[in-house]
Amino acid sequence: MTTKLPEHAPAAVAEGSVHSADGTRIAFRRLGHGPAVVFVHGSVSTHTDWMPVARLLADRFTCYAMDRRGRAKSGEGIGPYSIEREYEDIAAVLATAKTETGSDAMLAGHSYGAICALGTAMRQPVPRLVLYEPPLPAGGLIAGENLAPYVRAIAEGDVDKALDLGLAAFPHMPSATIAALRTSKAWPRLRVLAKSWIRELEAMDAQSPDLTRFRTLSCPSMLLMGSLSPEHPMLDAARALAEVLPGVRVEWLSGQGHGAMRAAPEMVARLIRDFLAE
């Protein structure tokens, strides 16, 4: 049975932060009331990607939309980057959510944030886990030979060229969509975060293509897949993951691609609400 989302006044949003295991400040936006849910965004993005969904869920859940390290008010961190630090960052927000709400927090991640959320859940079980197209290299490298020209454009200071290359090569975004992005309010944000994509692409390609390790995931999970998302690296990875996650619930986002949190937040929120409330 599909739940119809009720209409409510906009939930108040509070800013908060916590320090991760290495001392890095991790910021988040908190809204709503009820059981806790931590939302983890993907590459070249911030907590704002999840906010449309969080606002729709705030009448039933306490939503924590975090900024991963190096974004917005979160610190960059000290020392070399590794995905393990991301796991620690999420764990710190999960702990804060539990302290503040009295319940173990559920977890939702998008894209690279879904990889980070999955890795965290493998370390410490969460009550429920939502994954939206984690680009694991099950069907081949995510960046591969396209990473070098992207890195070169960043090093030369041509951020617009780098983003043109990266958006076409990595998530396989259509040229018309990239052109529209260039004239949108989102482009300046993408430019600021463009350099951080390098380390995350390297981390994606460093993941093992053998996903059988995820057979040991011990929490209920839901996998979201956009019907218009590119076969590689989104759908091939999601399909491979669906084959190994025990008892996973797979939901297709009809008419949507990799960014349905913004394009169709009611669709995404409805699916998440139904799954988390089971």
| Mean pLDDT, range 162-175, rounded to an integer | 96
User: What are the structural domain ranges in the chain?
Assistant: 13-139+209-276, 141-208
Helical pair 147-155 and 159-169, crossing angle rounded to 10 deg:
170
Residue 4 has pLDDT above 70, yes or no: no
Residue ranges of alpha helices (H) inside the chain are 51-57, 83-101, 112-123, 147-155, 159-169, 175-182, 186-193, 196-206, 236-244, 260-263, 265-276
> pTM for the whole thing?
0.95
> Minimal CA–CA distance to 257: which of 52, 150, 110?
110
Q: Please tell me the predicted confidence (pLDDT) of residue 1.
A: 43
Q: Please tell me the predicted confidence (pLDDT) of residue 8.
A: 60
The burial class, CB within 10 Å (0-12 / 13-18 / 19+), for 44 is buried
Mean residue pLDDT of the chain comes to 96
Q: Please tell me the predicted confidence (pLDDT) of residue 11.
A: 86
Q: Please tell me the predicted confidence (pLDDT) of residue 278.
A: 86
196 pLDDT band, cuts 50/70/90, is very high
Tell whether domain 13-139+209-276 is in CATH 3.40.50.1820: yes
Q: Helix or strand or coil: residue 157? A: coil
pLDDT tens for each residue of 55-64: 999 999 999 9
Q: Is the model more confident about 56 or about 4?
A: 56
Q: What is the largest CA-CA distance in the chain?
A: 53
3-state percent helix, strand, coil for the chain, nearest multiple of 5 = 45, 15, 35
> Minimal CA–CA distance to 138: which of 205, 203, 83, 198?
205
Q: Do 277 and 60 touch, CB atoms closer than 8 A?
A: yes
| Alpha-carbon gap, residue 134 to 111, rounded angstroms | 4
pLDDT tens for each residue of 207-254: 999 999 999 999 999 999 999 999 999 999 999 999 999 999 999 999
pLDDT tens for each residue of 115-154: 999 999 999 999 999 999 999 999 999 999 999 999 999 9
| Alpha-carbon gap, residue 130 to 3, rounded angstroms | 17
| Structure-token match 């060229």, residue found | 161
Distances (CA, A) of 39 to 79, 111, 158, 170, 179: 25, 12, 32, 23, 29
